[in-house]
Structure 1
């Protein structure tokens, strides 16, 4: 399978915890669909302390995964919001 584009998209989105509203990531997202995964190389700002865990309410919103041979975070549905 093809790897994700190295340069990445130019559109950035803010990702927030759906439970408490804390800012988690600033992410360069491609496409207009729902947020299913976050490639680690596209995260520009990381406000989390522990991987895929909200720093305020400590809820787990994703899990570590390899997608197309690239490290990523698979997002659990309904756990995050993006603007």
Structure 2
């Protein structure tokens, strides 16, 4: 699973969110975390099979870097007018 691609704590780098906001989208309340833009090239440089870990109140949330790369590619597509 994703845990296999996650870094060991000793080999990981801790980067804190710079902002946190509450947002409501389609009636669902969510928390939006904003991270510094400097982490984008760090994540993009990872192997797509690796995972990134977000720790939230002791809970580990795993993000597959391949999913991150796909999201960046999608956002880079020209906008329909």
Q: State the TM-score, normalizing by the size of structure 1.
A: 0.24
Higher-RCO chain (CA-CA 8 Å, sequence separation at least 6) = 1
Higher strand share: 1
Using the size of structure 2 for normalisation, the TM-score is 0.25
Question: Which structure is larger by alpha-carbon Rg, 1 or 2?
Answer: 2
Structure with the higher helix share, 1 or 2: 2
